[in-house]
Amino acid sequence: MASLSLLTFNTFAILNWDTIFRVTALAEELTKLKAEIVCLQEIHQHLFRRTLTAATPYHVDAIHAPKRGRPRGGLLTLSRLPVVTHNYIPFVEQGRWYHLELMDRLLEKGLLVTHYEVAGLPLIIANTHIIANYAADYGRTGRPALRQQSQLRQLATVIKALPAEALVVLVGDFNLPRGSWLYQEFLEASGMEDTMSGDQRPTYRPLPGVPAHYALPIDFVFVRHPQNRTISVTSNLCMDQPVHLVGNYRNFLSDHLGIISHFSWPIDAGSEKVIGEKAIREESVSHE
């Protein structure tokens, strides 16, 4: 059997006094988890990107699209697997200049797409963070929801154009709740499945002063299965406990929880040797 583990996590790595401590603690958690692929959102400075990549040497590649002092879209994908190719696709809809959406627009949010090959199976990982719905107005005629709909439709178009023989995994902070009409419309348009379908545990943990009703499941791991392949996948929440940061100070790593996913699928005899050799190479990297 071939297997793969993937983590998605909104890091809340904004400029704040404790961010560098949280990012350093996050690097320690990533080293413990040893997920083959790690998709991060809200990496808002190259300083935080460099801190993570320097402290997690088992990752072979650190994929991002540079943009004036920060990763474009705040997206960073770390990998223990060699990358075949990657590209960044900005959203056409970027939000308003005269609103809190300005913060999203300045990031130039979009989709970071990374291609791999595992045991002969094409694997495409898409890391994203769609525009925030600051009013939590998910009504069908609400302007925030309609801007989210535009980005979701673009995502669905991109996903549908990807090779049918590939395992496609789309992850990130979608800023909309599981089960909403936007969620349902996206699943229908993209042909993807939610690996935590029906789970209503919040993935967003409101900071002090933020209304409790914002606590919703808004982070996702979506999967499109390849043709003629059976892929088993399980997902669960993680990064849900406070950790030691500095001195006697403890806090959560972020205002979001992470999602860890495990994939497995049968491989033919010819591919087993490839997987074994790759595992040996990756293990040697992890101890450098």
What was the pLDDT predicted at 58? 76
**pLDDT tens readout for residues 83-101:** 999 999 999 998 887 777 7
Whether 283 has a pLDDT exceeding 70, the answer reads no
Find all residues with CB under 8 Å of 242, minimum gap 6, and list them.
250, 251, 252
In CATH terms, the fold of domain 2-286 is Deoxyribonuclease I; Chain A (3.60.10)
What was the pLDDT predicted at 270? 54
Average pLDDT, the chain: 89
Whether residue 8 contacts residue 172, with contact meaning beta carbons closer than 8 Å, is answered with yes
**pLDDT tens readout for residues 8-67:** 999 998 888 899 999 999 999 999 998 999 999 999 999 999 999 888 877 888 899 988
pTM of the shown model: 0.91
Three-state SS for 251?
strand
Q: What is the mean pLDDT of residues 215-241?
A: 95
Q: What is the mean pLDDT of residues 262-277?
A: 65
What was the pLDDT predicted at 229? 85
Which residue is it, tokens 């996903």?
159
Q: Where are the domains of the chain?
A: 2-286
| CA neighbours closer than 13 Å in the CB half-sphere of residue 153 | 9
What was the pLDDT predicted at 105? 83
Whether 71 has a pLDDT exceeding 50, the answer reads yes
* Six-digit token string for 234: 């399980």
* pLDDT category of residue 269 using cuts at 50, 70 and 90: low
